[in-house]
Structure 1
């Protein structure tokens, strides 16, 4: 098999490794492209293209993550991963683990790990690589990688997310949620939210966002019920879509441009968390991005004109 064919066959796996290490679609794509350039320039033929390319993309991703950590420390407001619509790597035997590992909650837990711990955890726990392959990718001994994995597991177990196992039940709950959202049904929304539900937005200082996390079913339901009917009146559409392996939506303006994404964590028949990504830098891979500031001004005008209750957030 020629190099280009071999690489294209493994590309979904390489992207999935890089995305879980980096939490960024754009940075993962760049890491995969750099991996190809190095592979294409290499004069030697690896015994295993999968092991070789996985090691290269892991090292590149770890280096990128180290510099990204500095930028994230200066990030304005809460930081969320870039929303992923579909994981290109499919393995029916590990479908549940793969879906859980790409969720917003899991990726935020991975942020607790050092870059090397994160790489070792992703390769071993998510993709099932042998310790010899993990060690080659991490540039550490197998014994050192086992220790890194022990520490990573400890951090992850402290807050490991659990999700509704039945996909159909999750989808049915999400369908009821978006129906109540469209109707501005406060009671209907409250019924679907967990007692400790939180709603948080990531605007990165580049888009209007929640002034603070909204906590509790009554507060979350009232905010959503006051806002989304106003958005619908401005021809903004809420398009249900799987986000990072779980129910969510893409919100688009009247011209079809992306305003934000919305991801739901579901457990025990209730929505536990709602995460909204508004930072335009994190939405560009989904298509043209809307001017959220302009839309926010339109929403405020609609509120004043329609006498809608002021919510404790921008659009």
Structure 2
């Protein structure tokens, strides 16, 4: 097998490590590509290509994450990860854990960790690397890695919500939600939303967003019921789609361009949080991106003409 073939076999794993480290599809793809360049330039053949490339992509991601910290502190409004439609790394025996680790909520919790804690947690808890392997990747002793893992688990467990365990039940609730949303059914929406539900958006200062958020079942239900009919009138389409391993949707304008994505956090049979990503910089990997300001303006004009 050639180096290129070996690399392509490992690409899904490398991307999945980098994405969980960085919360960015674009940065993860760049980290994977840089890993290939370093592997291609390596004069000696590694004893384990998987170990070598996992170490390279993790170290690159740590460096990127350290430089990204300053940018995220200066970010306008809430920061969410770039939406991921499909995780290329598949392990049927651990599919539930892998899906949970890529959820918006989990990635936001990972943001609380130091770059080293994040690397240790991702490699050990998500991809089941041994502590010996983790220690080699991050250039720390096994004892230090065990300490880092313990600290990371403590941070993650303290903030981790208990998501709906039954995926079939969760997906059925999401289907009912999107059906009610399409129909503008305020009562049907209200029934599925937690009393203290939150609707929060990431526009990054480059797209309209819901102010600081919309809170409470009544407010969120009425906002949605008023929104979709007018969005549909201008040719908008809502496409239910799994996003970051969670029930979600992609919104397209009349030309088929991406307007935003949604993800739903579901707990105890109700929707607790709805996160929308509108920042055009985070949507380009999904296809051509719409001008959200234009979509909003057209929607408002439709509202005035039908009032």
The CA RMSD measured in Å over matched residues stands at 0.8
**Distance in structure 2 (CA, Å) of the matches to 1:196 and 1:85:** 27
**Distance in structure 2 (CA, Å) of the matches to 1:39 and 1:185:** 55
User: What does 1:41-190 correspond to in 2, within 5 Å?
Assistant: 41-190=41-190
User: What does 1:184-223 correspond to in 2, within 5 Å?
Assistant: 184-223=184-223
How much does 1:161 deviate? 2.7
1:299 lines up with 2:299 in the alignment: yes
Look up the SS of the partner of 2:290 in the other structure: coil
How much does 1:162 deviate? 2.1
**Distance in structure 2 (CA, Å) of the matches to 1:90 and 1:239:** 24
**Distance in structure 2 (CA, Å) of the matches to 1:190 and 1:91:** 37
Look up the SS of the partner of 2:303 in the other structure: helix
CA distances 1:32-83 after superposition (whole Å, capped 9, x unpaired): 0000000000011111111111000000000000001110000000000000
Deviates more, 1:218-227 or 1:24-33: 218-227
Runs of 4 or more above 2 Å deviation: none
Give the alignment's TM-score, normalised by structure 2: 0.99
**Distance in structure 1 (CA, Å) of the matches to 2:81 and 2:295:** 23
Q: Which residue of 2 aligns with 1:278?
A: 278
Give the alignment's TM-score, normalised by structure 1: 0.96
Tell me how many residue pairs correspond in the alignment: 307
**Distance in structure 2 (CA, Å) of the matches to 1:240 and 1:199:** 17
Look up the SS of the partner of 1:243 in the other structure: coil
**Distance in structure 2 (CA, Å) of the matches to 1:57 and 1:66:** 14
How much does 1:259 deviate? 0.2
5+ residue gaps, structure 2: none
**Distance in structure 1 (CA, Å) of the matches to 2:183 and 2:168:** 23
How much does 1:203 deviate? 0.2
CA distances 1:262-291 after superposition (whole Å, capped 9, x unpaired): 111111111111000000000000000001
**Distance in structure 2 (CA, Å) of the matches to 1:3 and 1:43:** 12
**Distance in structure 1 (CA, Å) of the matches to 2:8 and 2:158:** 37
**Distance in structure 2 (CA, Å) of the matches to 1:273 and 1:40:** 44
Look up the SS of the partner of 2:230 in the other structure: helix
5+ residue gaps, structure 1: 308-315
CA distances 1:244-273 after superposition (whole Å, capped 9, x unpaired): 001000000011000000111111111111
